[in-house]
Structure 1
Amino acid sequence: MKSSRTVAAGIAALAMVGALAACSSGGSDGDGKLELRVATFPPGADQAAYDAFAEQEKQFEQEHPDIDIIGVEYEWTAPTFAAQLAGGSLPDVFTVPFTDSKTLLENGQLMDLTKEIDELGYTDKFNPILLEEVTGSDGKVYGFPRQAYANGLQYNRDLFEQAGLDPDQPPTTWDEVREAAKTISEKTGKAGYATMTSNGTGGWQLSAQADSRGAQLQTANDDGTFTSTINNPATKATLQYLHDLRWEDNSMGANFDLDWGSINQEFAAGNIGMYTSGSDVYTALVRDYGMDSGKYGLTVIPLEDGGGVLGGGDIAVVAPTVDDDTKKAAVTWIDWYYMQKLMNQDAAVADAKALAASDQAVGTPVLPVLDQETYLESREWIKDYINVPLDQMTGFTEGIFDQSPVGEFKGQTQPIYALMDNVVQAVLTDRNADIDALLVQLDTDAQALLDQ
């Protein structure tokens, strides 16, 4: 799914940065350099982001004078990927959400990078849960997990204060979230709590809450098929919880057509007290939606009954059509641009310095791609450049390593999320919605997708 990310899949666009002529992968420029087309940002990213990229591009080309980096505006979308691949419009290096990686690698649509990842020494350093996301049934590894997040509880410190709540003591249980949401709504007239409901994000966040209550939404069978198990007590409890917030407490406002972008906009505008989303969404809230950073708060998502925290993210991959020289250059870029800042102090400082100089967020809490020791060490390296309000995020940063991460279910992820959207919307717009019947039908429809 999508966090700052990645992550609801989003509406796609592919456009060249600058006046790029169409060229095949691994082409050379007039100086004989290998041209490497790499994904940059989604269309609409601010100039500061591109200024930071330009500085990083300059640094890379100084170290690798035989490679000419060509930035390409890019946003992943599953429905148009095949056409982009067939038409040659994919960058040589791009990113794919975890939710779609399994399908692509099993379809042979990603480059095998097992040898390169092992030679660079990452195989034993990656978070094993994340490494599984890029490992095929053949045991080969098809990408670099480069960015991950865990769902957290985002909250508006200003609304907490207006409601007489202590923003330094955010809720730690779902019951406390409900109580705080009701208080915020009664005291401020704003939605105390909101949830995403559309474009697959409603299913994503229904999964996040159900997982936090111990759900298993899908099981993998020995023959490679999947069985839908969405109809379970934890999912039912989540839907009942949302029903009660909406109909008994009247604490969810009046807008029940929210996706990743629109809920961020409403939250940044001060119209929502709390919602769940990826821990890295701070960057988008401040950079893209104009939120006052002093009003932002983040804590861990409540867990109960043996539940875990739903995580996600994306992987850096190489187009399967590139030649050997381009593949080598692509791995060099991925290692330099995405990975070295996680393992090498000089690279970490250079990256943080470039981002900070361009007024980009440095230090946003994430789910570590590598092991905890390496992650904590890297934070020490860049502490002088961290510019996010970590003192407003301590509930998350101090609690996340005590939570068990849970990956998104693998079979037909995005289509099933869309089915789950409909159930969330039904519960929030129909006081008398039959949750049991909705879940029976949801499981039936999800299984039909899995059986295709």
Structure 2
Amino acid sequence: MQQRTRRVLAAAVVVPALAVMAGCSGGNGAGDADSGDGKVTITVMGKPAATNTAAVELFERQVTEFEAANPNITIEASDVPWDAKTFATRLAGGSAPTLLRVPLTEPPALIERGQVADIASVASKLDSFADLNPRVMQFLEQGDAVYGIPEKSYAFGLVYNRDLFTQAGLDPDSPPQTWDEVRTAAKKISDVTGKTGFGEISTNNSGGWHLTGYDYTYGGKMIDQAADGTWTAAFNDDASREVLQMWKDMRWEDDSLGDNVLGKQEDLVAEFTAGNVGMWVTAPPDVYPNYIAAGGKPEAFGAGPMPQGGANATLAGATVLMVNATATEAEKEAAVKWIDWRALRPNYDLEVAAETAKASAADGLPVGVPVAPIFTAEAYAAYRDAIADYVNVPVENFAPYTASLDKLEYVPEPAVASQEIYAALDPVVQSVLTDENADIDSLLNDAEQRVNQILAQHK
């Protein structure tokens, strides 16, 4: 592991971003942008969606300021979203951007395939490098090599509509703590308000993603590794059966999941923002900026702990920034400078943090959303103090969620083939949510065979 000299830092990442999924850049691929005169152009992921106009304006202002401070570097950015199915083709074809913005599930495979660069020589010089969270960095470091920098981390929790809770006679300050309580509350919301009590997603790998996170709360795990390094599926167990039976009961007995069960996260964000969904599971800090951008009421947004089935655990992950392996040395240096400018400095340099918070508040962007920090607790506290004058979110509405972060075990996503596993599990979730007579045991048996075939390619 890269040795680090500790420095005094300040905080965790809260730069606005689109939900949990990363954006993918268009334009030219990495490795061909050195002009020979010391100037370099890099293509980067992470520009906010065009619909989030305030975030786009902030991003473009940051690009302008960065280029003024670094006149030899030109930034070309795109808001094209990350797609695991097409990304391998873009990398192989040379059209992937210089700076990759990916979920924490992706680095192991990208590193194994040699598609991302070792940036240790540049990253280790960053003021913030010494205090990056080792729980995230362990996935980005191999020996002395460093393959990425975390932009933000997340942990699953329960997002809920406080207004619908009140209408249904539920206490909006005391969200459900267990899945039994979720089921009871969801039915009450549906019965009293006519809205969907609990929202669920099942496409674009989201069904497998949620099944994984829910499975952890029952003490389950998705894959096992033997002493010889081989991997096998581990989800054909009682924990997964508990989750799938709960979904089946809520869908077909309680009628609290609604009929729109074949959507993706963006679809559920839209329905939740419109006030049509009482509760759902996601990373609350990631969803809130998009909820506000879409016109959601700040006072109606509630965030609670990940409901539990007895294990006191929650799925945790991150969005990480990695450099294309085809990047030149100049491009690697430019990309790391941009990472520092855009993602890190606003959260560890207290003066920059205050300036960024002030500008964001002036633009109407959320400031002070409580997050799962990627730096130390002391640094995060200092950051919160630095931005206190500009906080414009109902921090108290996140209290049940933030209080749970120190109490629950953080369980990472599957160490290998995570997106492929999720894709293989989507049909399982979809079947349970669309077929009242779905055979859970048969579905799990079939999925286990498919996933073992996938895992046979990894060692």
Q: Common fold, TM-score beyond 0.5?
A: yes
Instruction: Return the match for 2:34 from 19, 27, 34.
Output: 27
Match in the other structure for 1:89: 95
Choose from 407, 410, 417 the match for 2:412: 407
Name the residue aligned to 2:108: 102
The aligned amino acid for 2:97 is P
* Equivalent residue, structure 1, for 2:429: 424
CA 1:212/1:134 → structure 2, altered by over 3 Å: closer, same or farther? Answer: same
1:417/1:8 CA distance change after superposition, 3 Å: farther
The amino acid that maps onto 2:83 is T
Taking the aligned partners of 2:245 and 2:144, their CA distance within structure 1 comes to 41
The change in CA–CA distance for 1:52 and 1:92 in structure 2 (over 3 A counts) is same
Please, what is the CA RMSD of the aligned residues?
2.5
Alignment counterpart, residue 59 of structure 1, candidates 65, 83, 102: 65
Spell out, residue by residue over 1:150-189, the C-alpha distance to the aligned partner (whole angstroms, 9 max, x if none): 1110101111111111212211222211111111111011
> Is 1:170 aligned to residue 165 of structure 2?
no
How far residue 295 of structure 1 moved from its aligned partner, in angstroms, is 1.5
Residue deviations 1:398-426, cap 9 Å, x none?
Answer: 22122221110022211221222211122
Specify whether residues 225 and 372 from structure 1 end up closer, same or farther in structure 2 by C-alpha distance, changes over 3 A only: farther
1:272 pairs with one of 258, 273, 277:
277
Note the C-alpha offset of 1:69: 3.0
User: Given that residues 172 and 302 in structure 1 are in contact (C-alpha distance below 8 angstroms), is that contact kept between their aligned partners in structure 2?
Assistant: yes
Structure 1 residues 8 and 228: CA distance shift in structure 2, 3 A: farther
Q: SS in structure 2 opposite 1:349?
A: helix
Amino acid at match of 1:345: L
For residue 277 of structure 2, give the secondary structure of its aligned residue in structure 1. Answer: coil
Once structures 1 and 2 are overlaid, which stretch shifts more, 54-63 or 373-382? 54-63
Structure 2 match to 1:296: 301
Alignment of 1:322-341 (within 5 A): 322-341=327-346
Please identify, of 87-96 and 188-197, the stretch whose mean Cα deviation from structure 2 is larger. Answer: 87-96
| CA displacement 1:269-321 (0-9 Å, x = unmatched) | 1111111011221111221x332222211111123433411122211111211
For the 8 Å contact 1:230–1:443, the answer to whether it is kept is: yes
How many Å apart are 1:121 and its aligned residue? Answer: 5.4
Of the three residues 51, 64, 83, the one matched with 1:77 is: 83
Counterpart Cα distance in 2 of 1:448 and 1:23: 33
State the distance in 2 between where 1:328 and 1:295 align: 43
Change (3 A) 1:425 1:316: same
Q: Aligned with 2:325: secondary structure?
A: coil
Contact 1:6/1:313 (8 A) holds in 2:
no
Name the residue aligned to 1:154.
159
Report what 2:441 is aligned to: 436
Work out whether residues 14 and 72 of structure 1, in 8 Å CA contact, stay in contact via their aligned partners in 2: yes
Provide the residue aligned with 2:196 in structure 1.
Answer: 191
AA paired with 1:319? Answer: N
Question: How far apart in 1 are the matches of 2:351 and 2:431?
Answer: 52
Q: Note the C-alpha offset of 1:201.
A: 0.5
Q: Which runs of 5+ in 1 are unaligned?
A: none
What residue in structure 2 maps to residue 249 of structure 1? 254
Task: Calculate the TM-score normalised by the size of structure 2.
Answer: 0.89
In structure 2, relative to structure 1, the CA distance for the partners of 1:4 and 1:227 (3 Å cut) is: farther
Q: Work out the CA distance in 2 between the residues paired with 1:51 and 1:161.
A: 36
User: Is residue 318 of structure 2 the alignment partner of residue 348 of structure 1?
Assistant: no
> Which amino acid is 2:391 matched to?
I
Deviation at 1:90, TM superposition (A): 2.8
Instruction: Give the Cα–Cα distance (whole angstroms) in 1 for the partners of residues 238 and 30 of structure 2.
Output: 54
Identity %: 38
Q: Which amino acid aligns with 1:48?
A: A
- Cα distance per residue 1:317-349 (max 9 Å; x no partner): 112112212222221221222112232201212
Once the two structures are TM-superposed, the CA of residue 226 in structure 1 deviates from its matched residue by: 1.5
Asked if 2 retains the 8 angstrom alpha-carbon contact of 1:8 and 1:200, the reply is no
Contact 1:57/1:69 (8 A) holds in 2: yes
Aligned residue runs from structure 1 range 369-388, under 5 A: 369-388=374-393
SS at match of 2:390: coil
Deviation, structure 1 residue 227:
1.4
> CA contact under 8 A between 2:49 and 2:79: conserved in structure 1?
yes
Indicate conservation of the 8 Å contact 2:31/2:326, yes or no: no
Per-residue CA shift, 1:99-142, capped at 9, x if unaligned? 11110011110010223333335554222221122134x56220
Task: Answer yes or no: is 1:314 the counterpart of 2:327.
Answer: no
1:8–1:260 Cα contact (<8 Å) kept: no
Q: Secondary structure at the match of 1:104?
A: helix
Contact 1:42 1:75 in 2 (8 A): no
Quote the Cα distance in structure 2 between the aligned partners of 1:303 and 1:325.
48
Report 1 or 2 for greater relative contact order, CA contacts < 8 Å, sequence distance ≥ 6. Answer: 2
Tell me how many residue pairs correspond in the alignment.
Answer: 441
Distance 1:22 1:442, change over 3 A: closer
Quote the Cα distance in structure 2 between the aligned partners of 1:6 and 1:391.
Answer: 21
**Secondary structure, aligned partner of 1:154:** strand
Structure 2 vs 1, CA of residues 23 and 98 (structure 1 numbering), >3 Å: closer, same or farther?
A: closer
Which moves more between the two structures, 193-202 or 85-94?
85-94
- State whether residues 230 and 442 of structure 1, in contact with CA within 8 Å, keep that contact through their aligned partners in structure 2: no
User: In the alignment, residue 54 of structure 1 is paired with which amino acid?
Assistant: E
The superposition leaves residues 68-124 of structure 1 with CA deviations (integer Å, 9 ceiling, x where unpaired) of 333334432233334433444333223111111110011110010223333335554
Q: Classify 1:321/1:81 alpha carbon distance in 2 versus 1 (closer, same or farther; 3 Å).
A: same
Q: Which amino acid aligns with 2:99?
A: V
Q: Is the counterpart of residue 116 in structure 1 residue 141 in structure 2?
A: no
Given the superposition, is the C-alpha separation of residues 252 and 70 from structure 1 closer, same or farther in structure 2, using an over 3 Å criterion?
closer
Choose the corresponding residue for 2:219, options 209, 214, 217: 214
Distance 1:51 1:373, change over 3 A: same
Distance 1:208 1:40, change over 3 A: closer
Q: Does 1:145 align with 2:145?
A: no
Whole-angstrom CA distance in 2 between matches of 1:395 and 1:446: 36
- 1:398 matches 2:391: no
